Amino acid sequence: MAELEAQLRAAVRGEVGFGAAARALVTMDASNYRRVPLGVVAPRDADDVAAVLAVCRERGVPVVARGGGTSIAGQATGTGVVLDFTRHMNRLVSLDPAARTAVVQPGLVLDRLQDAAAPHGLCFGPDPSTHSRCTLGGMIGNNSCGAHSVAWGTTADSVRALDVLSARGERLRLGPGWAGAPEGLRALVEEERARLRTGFPELPRRISGYALDALLPERGADVARSFCGSEGTLGILTEAVVGLVEAPRARALAVLGYGDESAAAEAAAGLLPYGPLTVEGMAADLVPSADLLPRGAAWLFVETGGDSQGEARARAEAVVRAADVTGSAVVTDPARQRALWRVREDASGTATRMPDGTEAWPGWEDCAVPPQRLGAYLRDFRALLGAHGLRGTPYGHFGDGCIHVRIDFDLLTKEGVARFRRFSEELAGVVVAHGGSLSGEHGDGQARAELLPRMYGAQMVRLFERAKGVWDPDDLLNPGMLVRPAPLDAGLRFAVLPREPVDVVFGYPADGGDFSAAVRRCVGVAKCRTTTAAGPAVMCPSFRATGEEEHSTRGRARLLHEMLAGELVTDGWRSAEVRDALDLCLGCKGCRSDCPVGVDMATYKAEFLHHHYAGRRRPAAHLTLGRLPRWLRLVDRTRTARLVNALAAVRPLAWAAKRLGGIAPERAVPRLAPVAFSRWWHARPGNGAGGDLVILWPDTFTEHLSPGVGRAAVRVLEAAGLRVALPPTRRLRPPRDGEGVSVARDPMSLLRGRRRVCCGLTYLSTGQLDRARAVLRDTLDLMEPVLGTGAPVVVLEPSCAAALRADLPELLHGDPRARQLADRVLTFAEALERHAPRWTPPSVARPAVGQTHCHQHAVLGDAADRRLREAAGLAGELSGGCCGLAGDFGFTRGHHEVSVACAEEHLLPSVRAAGESAVVLADGYSCRTQVEQLAGARARHLAEVLAEALEGAGPGGGGGG
C-alpha cells in the first residue's frame, strides 16, 4: 500500500488518501455491501484518471469509479483504488440552449445541471429521487431513470456522446456508430447478432446486464447508449454530452387514492394514454402523515404539464375522471406540490423502517415488469413475502412497471442471511416469469448479478463476459460486478458489527437501546450531501460549508460504523478519525428531521465525546463553554457581571482569556446582564393574574445573557391572561468531603448557593454526559412538585426546549419523571396558542426576516410560531439552514470559518437584503449573536417584538377573541 500510495501521489495532481478515514468513508454505498479499498483518489482531470489507471494497471490493482455513492446494488464500492469524481471533476463544462445539449463532467450533481438549464426552459429528463446529490457519471453508469421516465425515458435516452478512458489507457469518444469503439466489439456483435435480437425482454425499465442490443444495426449501433448501465466495468467516463428536453411551463399534480397498492398498480398502465409526465405509486405505510393526501391506502402521483396552468390542470382533471379511485386531488400550488413530492422522494429512506420500527433493507430494490403485468406481479410478490415470513412495502415508478421495496430481511444472523438468499433466488424466478428485469433502475451490482443467468440464460451471460473482455481484458475495472460476480450474500456490511449491544449512555429507544442499530440507520441515500438547503431544511450545514464527505451525516455515520467494526478504525471510542469528523458537526439536529431514516448525529456525537474523553483531559472549550451555566451562576452570585464586562473590554485580557479558554480569537465576548432575569423576577410585584398557570423556564441564556427576552415573555404571557411562575429553587449547603463531591476538587461548590433547574444543553453538546445526568436529575427533583400541577413549562430558548423534549427522556430513560417533564415543554408560541386561544396578539404589521432555529425545525416544529406571526401581521417566510454559531460551536477555536460559511448561506443574506422596516427575528440566543457579530444588526425574539407592540397599544395590549 505504501508503494502504491507513493506512486499515485507522484503521478496525479488531485488528492490521494490512503488513511483510515479516507478509506472508511467509501467502504459502503447505499447497498447492503461493504468493501474496504486500498485508497481513494480525487482526480483533477482526465490526465489524472489516465495516470491512476496506468499505475493500477502496472500493479494489477482494481479501479472503481464513484460519484455520489448512492448506488443500491453495491457497485460504488471496491477493494482497490476508488476514484472520487465529486471533488474536482464536477463542472458543467458548457450548455447550448439552441442545440438542447450540455457537456458535463462525471462528478456534476444533477440538480446543478437542472439549475443551469431551467432559465432556458429546459431540463434533463431523468430525475431520480436522489437528484440533489447523485452525479451524472453515476446516472450514466447505472442508466438511472427517475419519476419522469414515462415521458423522457432513461439516462441512455439522453446521452449523445461519451469521453471514456479504457482500462489500458485508450481515450475513446463514443457515440452512435462504431467510431471510438474498442477493437473487437463490432466483430463480436456481428457474430452474435441473432442472439442479441432475441435475448432481451422488451420493457421500458430493462436495466439488467449489458445493453448489447443497442449495438444492432437497426438500432444505430449506438456504442454510447450501450455503455450506459455498465456500472464502471467497461471504461472510466471523463466527460459526457447529454441532451436536454423542454420543460413544461406549468405543471399540475393529480393525486389518486386507492384501496391498496395492487389496485394502484392495476390502474397505472391505463393512465399512460393520457400522456402524463409521471405515474408514481406508494402505499400508506411509507407516509408519515396523510394530511396532504386524499382518502386511500395507496396513491398514484400523476403529474401533467402544459403551456399554461389551465392546460396542465385540465389534463390532470382528465386523469382524475378516467380513474376509479377512493379519493382524489388536483394540486397546482407549487409549494404543496413540493411537499407531496418530498413524501415520495423520502420513501427510499422511510422504507428502511417498518411501521413497528423493524429494520428493512434493499436487495430487491427496483425490479421491473411490463406495466400491464405490475398488478399481477405484486400479488405474486406479496405471496412470496408471506411464504418466507417477510414484510415490505412497494412503491416507485408504477407507470413503468418498476417498483422499489425495502424488506425486513434479517441480515445479522446466519439463518437470516440464508433466507435472504432463498428469497432472492425465488423472486428472480417470479420476475422472469412476468417477463421482467431484475433491475429496473439501480443496476445489478452485487445484489443481482449472480442471478442474471435466470433472466438471460447461461449463453447470454457468457456473451456479457466476452464483451467485458473486449473492453477490459485485464478485468481491472470494478471486478465482481455484472460478470463473474461475487455472491449476493457475501460481504454484507452488517457482518463486521458487534453482535452484543455496545455499552452507551443514551437510551436509543427507537433502536432498542442498541447503538449499533442506531448507526445502521444510515443506509447511504445521502440526502445530507445536498449542496443547498432547500426550503426549511437544515441538514447538513457543515457539509455544505466544506463539501467534504467526512463532514456529512453519512460520512460521520460511516466512520462510526467502521469504529464499531474495528477493522479500519482500530482505536474504538478513542478514534482520532471519528473525533475529527465530528468536530465540525454543529449539533444542529437537522438530520433528526431531514434525514429520511432519522439519523441523530448530534446525539451520536455527544455519546462519542463522552467515551472519547472518559478519564482524559478535555479541550479547554469543554471546560469554559461546556460548563457555561456554572461560570455564569458564579458571576451572578458574586455580583461581578459589570466587572467581567469591563475586563472583557480590555483587548489584551480578552485575547488571553480566549486563548486559555479555547475560544475563537475572531469572536467578541458577549456582554453579561448586570441583573439576571430571576433577580428581576423576584424583585417585581406580582401581577395577580388568575388565568392558567404556566411555568416560565429560566434557561441559561435568558437568565444571564438576554434577560430582556424573559421580561418580554412575562409581559406578553400576562397580557394574554396567563399566570406566570418560575420553577422552584433550593438552597444548598456546600457539600462536605465524603459526600460524593470533594471540596478540594470542586471549590466552586462553595459558591453554588441555590440549585436551579437546567436543561444540561452545554454539557450535552460537549459530551459531558455524567454532568448532564447529574444536572438533569437535580432538575427533576426541583420540578417534581410542578409536574403534579399539570402546568405547562414554557421554554423561550429553542435549543433548551429541544434538550428537554428530546434529550432528557433519552438520557434519563429509566426515570419516568423525564418523560413527564418532556411532555410538558411548550415553546412560547405553543403556550399562547394552547392556553390563551382567545387572545389576539397586537398588530405589528411589518415584514419579518431571520431564520427558524435549527432545533425548532428538527425537534419542536414551528407551526404555532407561523400562526402567531401571521396573527400579528409579521409578513414573510423565515429562511432555512443554520446560523452557524450553534451554541458553543462558533465560539470554539478552529470553527470560525465554517461558522461564518453557514451563516452566509441564508441567514446573513436575508438580513442584509431586508428593508429598514423589517423585523429581524431569531428566537435563539446563538442566532441573535451571530446576526449581531457578523451583520451588525439587532435580531429579536418574537416575545420582544410582541411586547414592544403591546407597549405601543397601551396598558391592556392585545385583546380577547
What is the C-alpha separation between 222 and 843, in angstroms, rounded?
A: 67
69-76: average pLDDT: 95
Confidence of residue 20 (pLDDT cuts 50, 70, 90): very high
pLDDT surpassing 50 at residue 743: no
Mean pLDDT within 257-274: 94
The pLDDT value given to residue 689: 63
Give pLDDT, residue 753: 53
Residue 768 has pLDDT above 90, yes or no: yes
With a pLDDT cut of 70, the percent of the chain lying above it is 96
Q: Residue 213 pLDDT > 90, yes or no?
A: yes
| Least confident among 210-224, 407-421, 527-541 | 527-541
pLDDT level of residue 63 (50, 70, 90 thresholds): very high
Q: Taking the domains of the chain in order of start, what are their residue ranges?
A: 1-246+445-483, 248-350, 515-617, 627-732+753-834, 842-953
Does position 419 have pLDDT exceeding 80, yes or no? yes
pLDDT at 288 over 90: no
Beta strands in 291-339 (DSSP E): 298-306, 327-331
CATH architecture of 1-246+445-483: 2-Layer Sandwich (3.30)
Spatial contact of 149 and 128, defined as CB atoms under 8 Å apart: no
Q: What nine digits make up the cell of 666?
A: 475572531
Q: Is the peptide bond before 540 cis (omega within 30 degrees of 0)?
A: yes
Q: Does pLDDT of 674 surpass 70?
A: yes
pTM: 0.92
pLDDT of residue 347: 72
Distance, in Å, from the CA atom of 749 to the CA atom of 773, rounded to the nearest integer, reads 17
Assess contact for 55 and 48: CB atoms under 8 A: no
Q: How far is CA 898 from CA 331, 882, 905, in A?
A: 39, 11, 11
Give the model's pLDDT for residue 536: 72
Q: How confident is the model at residue 588 (pLDDT cuts 50, 70, 90)?
A: very high
Q: How confident is the model at residue 731 (pLDDT cuts 50, 70, 90)?
A: low
The pLDDT of residue 568 is: 96
Is residue 748 very low, low, confident or very high in pLDDT (cuts 50, 70, 90)? very low
3-state class (DSSP) for residue 517 = helix
pLDDT in tens, 523-576: 999 999 998 766 678 999 999 999 999 999 999 999 999 999 999 999 999 999
Q: Which amino acid is at 951?
A: E
Angle between helices 553-565 and 576-583 (to 10 degrees): 160
Q: How confident is the model at residue 747 (pLDDT cuts 50, 70, 90)?
A: very low
Crossing angle (nearest 10°) for helices 641-648 and 651-661: 100
Give the pLDDT score at 490: 96
Task: List helix spans (H) across 18-152.
Answer: 20-24, 46-59, 110-117, 136-142, 149-152
How much of the chain exceeds pLDDT 90, in percent?
Answer: 86
CATH numeric code, 248-350: 3.30.70.2190
Confidence of residue 345 (pLDDT cuts 50, 70, 90): confident
Q: What is the mean pLDDT of the chain?
A: 93
Residue type, 412: L
At a CB cut-off of 8 Å and minimum separation 6, what does 276 contact?
150, 151, 302, 303, 304, 315, 319, 399
The mean per-residue pLDDT over the stretch 841-852 comes to 95
Task: State how far the Cα of 800 lies from the Cα of 672, in Å rounded to an integer.
Answer: 19
Distance CA(832)–CA(864), nearest Å, equals 9
- pLDDT tens profile 807-837: 999 999 999 999 999 999 999 999 999 999 9
Angle at which helix 601-612 crosses helix 576-583, to 10 degrees, equals: 140
User: What Å distances lie between residue 379 and 279, 283, 368, CA to CA?
Assistant: 19, 14, 14
Cα distance between residue 854 and residue 806, in whole Å: 14
Among 607-621, 673-687, 753-767, 871-885, which range has the highest average pLDDT? 607-621
Structural element, H or E, at residue 337: helix 334-345
At 960 the pLDDT is 45
d(CA 359, CA 410) in angstroms, rounded, equals 8
What's the rounded mean pLDDT across residues 355-366?
Answer: 84
Identify which has the larger pLDDT, 52 or 957. 52
pLDDT top residue among 345 and 101: 101
> How much is the average pLDDT of 42-62?
98
**pLDDT for the residue numbered 744:** 40
Q: Cβ atoms within 10 A of the Cβ of 474, count?
A: 13
pLDDT given at position 855: 96
The residues, any chain, with a CB within 8 Å of residue 365's CB and separated by 6 or more, are: 72, 73, 404, 405, 406, 442, 447
Average pLDDT value for residue range 632-659: 96
